[in-house]
């Protein structure tokens, strides 16, 4: 039995996506920049994919730049804004961003930039009034994630964009966990830049996209050839781009029904575990959350021990984010939420996809409470 509950770390490539990609790994291997028909056909497929990505988020085709990842999209957005004419040297972000944003900000400090990490409350939410106070004449960009990868907490990007525009500051949102899970229209959101990653929505790893609103100043991050209209150099990863386009197409068609399905599974999982396990809390539960994400703390047990025992049963989940697990560091997101140490240490993130089933959720509910009891018993005997 293999049960995969770690879809915020990465997703399986959908079969339809794989099938759409295969010709570009086989016979259709032309370079999209070449002028002859063999290459032009490949170019057309890249442009079709651009249209599919644009369509999922209500953008125009020319507003989509393909990149190698969500990380590259985040880096590109921030680095571009810092080069705007008369740009300030201050970045405003949140304490719960992905390292793709936070570590870049930290790195930029060594070049004379400063940044503010907006704190979050116990429910994982930022204070918009405080955010408005923090933005000053030196602020070059606001980079605020759409949905958190560890807790699923959703930030009110539409409200944030109104504040940003009243202060005349460019707004970037890392929507890596939101695209394909929430209905998104960039015009309603009011952002100037938005990051997407393929492998979070059943496309392959190593492809992403950056939405840049028409009329927004833009400076490329990867310098070289003229690909992507001079906005991102490097020969296109055609098969992966085609895969991303197809995944966006599928997400657009099935978003509503799949969101309902996943939410039903997530609610069943939470109800089942909370009912059977004492001293258990769902982190971020009182905030708007992605329908697929459940970050649960089982007090007095080590989250890593839970994961190891689940692994033996063929069930895969994550403690904190996949990027920070293994680092031995307690989750920066839960710490920022001021979750008690005991609950941080014992947190497990379950992130579902439409490919999960009720049977899988029930299998978890059947196994995990006993494991928790056993671990608590061992920990009690050891006097921890």
Closest approach, Cβ 72 to ligand PLP, in A, equals: 7
Can you tell me the distance from the alpha carbon of 294 to that of 263, in angstroms, rounded to the nearest whole number? Answer: 10
Helix/strand number for the chain, H first, E second: 13, 12
Our finding on whether 208 is near ligand PLP (CB under 6 A) is: yes
- Exactly one of 100, 120, 189, 240 binds ligand PLP (CB under 6 A); that residue is 100
Contact status, residue 357 vs residue 301, Cβ threshold 8 Å: no
Query: By C-beta, is 280 or 318 nearer to ligand PLP?
Result: 318
Query: By C-beta, is 179 or 371 nearer to ligand PLP?
Result: 179
**End-to-end Cα, the chain, rounded Å:** 33
- Exactly one of 5, 45, 57, 70 binds ligand PLP (CB under 6 A); that residue is 70
Q: Which residues have C-beta within 8 Å of that of residue 267, sequence separation ≥ 6?
A: none
Contact status, residue 143 vs residue 97, Cβ threshold 8 Å: yes
Considering only 173-181, 182-190, 246-254, 343-351, which stretch makes contact with ligand PLP by CB under 6 A?
A: 173-181
Our finding on whether 176 is near ligand PLP (CB under 6 A) is: yes
Closest approach, Cβ 364 to ligand PLP, in A, equals: 22
Cβ-closest residue to ligand PLP? Answer: 70
Helix 358-381 to helix 238-276 angle (10° resolution) is 60
Closest approach, Cβ 181 to ligand PLP, in A, equals: 11
**Quick one: 26 exposed, middle or buried, by C-beta within 10 A (0-12, 13-18, 19+)?**
exposed
List b or e across 317-332, with b for residues whose CB sees 16 or more CB atoms inside 10 angstroms.
bbbbbbbbbeeeebbb
Q: In the annotation, is 323 catalytic? A: yes
Backbone angles phi, psi at 278, to 5 degrees: -80, 170
Q: Which residues have C-beta within 8 Å of that of residue 121, sequence separation ≥ 6?
A: 127, 337, 338
| DSSP, residue by residue, 114-133 | EEEEE-B-TTS-B-HHHHHH
Closest approach, Cβ 74 to ligand PLP, in A, equals: 6
Considering only 46-54, 171-179, 336-344, 346-354, which stretch makes contact with ligand PLP by CB under 6 A?
A: 171-179
Which string of x and - marks every residue 315-354 that binds ligand PLP (by CB under 6 A)?
--------x-------------------------------
Query: By C-beta, is 240 or 306 nearer to ligand PLP?
Result: 240
Backbone angles phi, psi at 349, to 5 degrees: -100, 125
Considering only 29-37, 169-177, 283-291, 362-370, which stretch makes contact with ligand PLP by CB under 6 A?
A: 169-177
Closest approach, Cβ 8 to ligand PLP, in A, equals: 6
Can you tell me the distance from the alpha carbon of 155 to that of 178, in angstroms, rounded to the nearest whole number? Answer: 10
Considering only 130-138, 174-182, 311-319, 344-352, which stretch makes contact with ligand PLP by CB under 6 A?
A: 174-182
Query: By C-beta, is 55 or 103 nearer to ligand PLP?
Result: 103
Our finding on whether 69 is near ligand PLP (CB under 6 A) is: yes
Our finding on whether 284 is near ligand PLP (CB under 6 A) is: no
Query: By C-beta, is 59 or 145 nearer to ligand PLP?
Result: 145
Choose the catalytic residue: 105, 248, 277, 323.
323
Our finding on whether 6 is near ligand PLP (CB under 6 A) is: no
Our finding on whether 149 is near ligand PLP (CB under 6 A) is: yes
Sheet with 170-174, strands from edge to edge, namely: 64-67, 208-212, 193-197, 170-174, 139-143, 90-94, 114-118
Query: By C-beta, is 139 or 151 nearer to ligand PLP?
Result: 151
- Exactly one of 177, 293, 324, 346 binds ligand PLP (CB under 6 A); that residue is 177
Query: By C-beta, is 177 or 319 nearer to ligand PLP?
Result: 177
**Quick one: 92 exposed, middle or buried, by C-beta within 10 A (0-12, 13-18, 19+)?**
buried
Q: What is the CA radius of gyration of the chain?
A: 21
Our finding on whether 71 is near ligand PLP (CB under 6 A) is: yes
Please tell me what DSSP assigns to residue 174. E
Task: List residues near ligand PLP by CB under 6 A.
Answer: 69-71, 74, 98, 100, 145, 149, 174, 176-177, 197, 199, 208, 323
Give me the active site residues, please. Answer: 323
């Amino acid at each position: 039995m293999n049960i995969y509950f770690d879809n915020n770390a990465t997703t399986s490539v959908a079969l339809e996506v794989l099938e759409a990609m295969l010709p570009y790994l086989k016979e259709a291997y032309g370079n999209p920049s070449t002028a002859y028909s063999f290459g032009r056909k490949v170019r057309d497929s890249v442009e079709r994919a651009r249209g599919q990505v644009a369509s999922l988020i209500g953008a125009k085709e020319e507003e989509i730049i393909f990149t190698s990842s969500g990380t590259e999209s985040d880096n590109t957005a921030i680095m571009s804004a810092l080069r705007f004419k008369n740009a300030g040297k201050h970045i405003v972000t949140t304490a719960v961003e992905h390292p793709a944003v936070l570590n870049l900000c930290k790195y930029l400090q060594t070049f004379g930039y400063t940044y503010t990490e907006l704190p979050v409350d116990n429910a994982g939410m930022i204070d918009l009034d405080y955010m408005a106070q923090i933005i000053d004449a030196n602020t070059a960009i606001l980079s605020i994630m759409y949905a958190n990868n560890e807790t699923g907490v959703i930030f009110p990007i539409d409200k944030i964009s109104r504040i940003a525009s009243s202060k005349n500051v460019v707004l970037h949102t890392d929507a890596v966990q939101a695209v394909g899970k929430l209905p998104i229209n960039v015009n309603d959101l009011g952002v100037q830049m938005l990051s997407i990653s393929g492998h979070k929505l059943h496309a392959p790893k190593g492809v992403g996209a950056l939405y840049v609103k028409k009329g927004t100043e833009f400076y490329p991050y990867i310098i070289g050839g003229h690909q992507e209209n001079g906005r991102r150099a490097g020969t296109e990863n055609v098969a992966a781009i085609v895969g991303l386009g197809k995944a966006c197409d599928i997400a657009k068609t099935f978003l509503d029904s799949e969101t309902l399905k996943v939410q039903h599974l997530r609610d069943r999982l939470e109800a089942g575990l909370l009912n059977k396990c004492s001293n258990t809390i769902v982190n971020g539960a009182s905030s708007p959350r992605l329908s697929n994400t459940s970050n649960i703390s089982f007090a007095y047990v080590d989250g890593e021990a839970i994961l190891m025992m689940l692994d033996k049963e063929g069930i895969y989940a994550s403690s904190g984010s996949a990027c920070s697990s293994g680092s031995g560091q307690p989750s920066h997101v839960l710490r920022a939420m001021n979750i008690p140490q005991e609950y941080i240490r014992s947190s497990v993130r379950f992130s579902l996809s439409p490919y999960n089933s009720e049977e899988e959720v029930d299998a978890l509910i059947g196994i995990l409470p006993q494991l928790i009891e056993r671990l608590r018993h061992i920990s009690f005997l050891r006097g921890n």
